[in-house]
Amino acid sequence: MSSSMLFNVTMVLYMVSTCIFFAFLASRSKAVGLGGTYAALFGFLVQTAAIGLRWKESYDQGHGHAPLSNLFESVVFFSWTIVLIFLFIDFKYKYRAIGFFVIPFALFGMAWAQLGLDSGIEPLVPALQSNWLMYHVITCFLGYAAFAVACGISIMYLIREKMEQGGGNVQAGGLLSMFPSIRVLDDLNYKAIMIGFPLLSLGIITGAAWANYAWGTYWSWDPKETWSLIVWFVYAAFLHARITRGWVGRRAAILSVIGFAATIFCYLGVNLFLSGLHSYGR
């Protein structure tokens, strides 16, 4: 058994979970919804074992580093953190319909990693040979994952609001009748961002400390650093507008989606299309 085989099993389980959540929306059966949650949980456990096994494989090959060093490993870890944040919110609030809008993010990540990225285990470049690697990457990706969950919830909000404004009778049944109310969706969007914002802030701080250790300066205006700051300002604006100006509902949902688009560009766009000090993350 290799980590690659377990990652394939993980991808299949996230696909099964997505299908079950769709069936939940169609059938409105609580048992089906719970099945989607447990499929995601099973996939999460298999993925956890796969990440641990890949870490062991790194030691077996003489490299001996955490599986957070290249694009393949970061996409896999991003997928893992998305499901972790989703399961936390799912078991706490039990709004199963959210799974149909969040688990596909994890599924897409696993599919892309398995089918389109180089999965080879390589030795660490000198800049990554530091314990700051784990502190920085883990905090950043947990923040990104919370923003992914907030984005999925915001999309649900916008769909439900449009349906209600169009005169649809949500209470009478139908595919979207299992959505939480727009008030609940707005509140969950806020709570997810409240989880992600301090984690992103911690990720930027640990990154600055690591940069000073590795390159002798806390901040270089590298494209990754600049875009991390842009993402931080977007979510800081979200929280500022909500707390001081009462921004809720549609405007908050749209800002959450914009924030996640900026997050994805910061994570992937900068790595793939721009050059800089973080170019090793490809």
Q: For the residues of 147-174, what is the DSSP string, one character each?
A: HHHHHHHHHHHHHHHHHHHTT--GGG-S
Reported as half-sphere exposure (CB side, CA atoms, 13 A), residue 252 has a value of: 28
Predicted confidence at residue 178, as pLDDT, reads 82
Q: What φ, ψ does residue 64 adopt, rounded to 5°?
A: 65, 55
pLDDT score at 12: 97
Question: Are the C-beta atoms of 71 and 281 separated by less than 8 Å?
Answer: yes
Q: DSSP assignment, residue 197?
A: H
Q: What is the CA angle 75-195-80, rounded to 5? A: 25
Distance CA 106, CA 18 (A): 10
CA distances from 265 to 22, 48, 197, 200, 211 (A): 28, 26, 17, 15, 21
**What's the CA angle centered on 132, arms 129 and 137, to 5 degrees?**
105
Q: Which two tokens stand for residue 234?
A: 């977007």
If you search the block for the tokens 């897409």, which residue do you land on? 108
pLDDT at 274: 76
| Predicted local confidence at residue 251, as pLDDT | 93
How far apart are the two ends of the chain, measured CA to CA in Å? 27
pLDDT at 216: 86
> Which residues are CB-contacts of 81 (< 8 A; sequence separation ≥ 6)?
141, 142, 144, 145
Give tens-digit pLDDT for 32-77. Answer: 999 999 999 999 999 999 999 999 999 999 888 889 888 999 999 9
pLDDT at 202: 96
Q: Position 264: which residue type?
A: I
The stretches of the chain forming alpha helices (DSSP H) are: 3-27, 30-60, 71-93, 98-116, 132-165, 182-215, 223-245, 250-264, 270-273
Q: Is the pTM value of this prediction over 0.85?
A: yes
Query: What contacts 126, CB < 8 A, 6 or more positions away?
Result: none
Contacts of 193 (CB under 8 A, 6+ apart): 146, 147, 150, 235, 238, 239, 256, 259
User: Could you report the per-residue pLDDT of 194-208, keeping only the tens digit for each?
Assistant: 999 999 999 999 999
pLDDT of residue 174: 65
Note the pLDDT of residue 3. Answer: 92
Half-sphere exposure of 43 (CA within 13 A, CB side): 32
| pLDDT in the model for residue 175 | 67
Q: Which residues of the chain have pLDDT under 70?
A: 167-175, 276-282
Inter-CA distances, 201 with 60, 69, 91, Å = 35, 21, 26
- C-alpha span between 17 and 273 (Å, rounded): 33
Residue 173: predicted pLDDT: 57
